[in-house]
Structure 1
C-alpha cells in the first residue's frame, strides 16, 4: 500500500512516530481494518507535529477526520512481482 503524506505546518517533530503508532494500535483494537488504521495513524502524526506540546490538547477523532479521509481515499495498492 502507498499512503499520501499530508502537508503540515511543522512546529515540532518529537513524538510524531509515537502518535502514528498509537493511532494505528487504537484503531486496530477497535476492529478497524489496516488501511483505516494507517490513515488514522498518519493523521494523528500530522496533528502532533503541528503543536508544540507533542499532542494537541483537544485531540480526538472528529478533529482529524478530514485528514483521515484524505489519506484513506488516496491510498493505492501497489503490486510487485515476486522475485522468488
Structure 2
C-alpha cells in the first residue's frame, strides 16, 4: 500500500521519457525531472511542446497545491505552538 504514492510519478516519468524524443527533447532529463517534480514538470513539458492550455493548468494546480501545503503546515505549527502555551 505504501507504493501507491509512487505510481503517479512513475507514470509521468515514463510518459515524458517516451514522448520527449518525439519533440527533440532529452528523455533522461525529462524522465528524471518528471519523477522528482511530477505535475510541475509535466506542465512545463506540455507548455514547451506546444500544448499550452493543458500545461498551464498543470502548472497552476501544482503551484496552488504547494501554496496550500505550506499554508496548512503553517496553520498546524501555529495551532501546536498556541496549544502548548508558547
- TM-score scaled by structure 1? 0.39
Q: Which has the higher contact order (CA 8 A, sep 6+)?
A: 1
Structure with a larger share of its residues in helix: 2
* TM-score, normalization by structure 2: 0.38
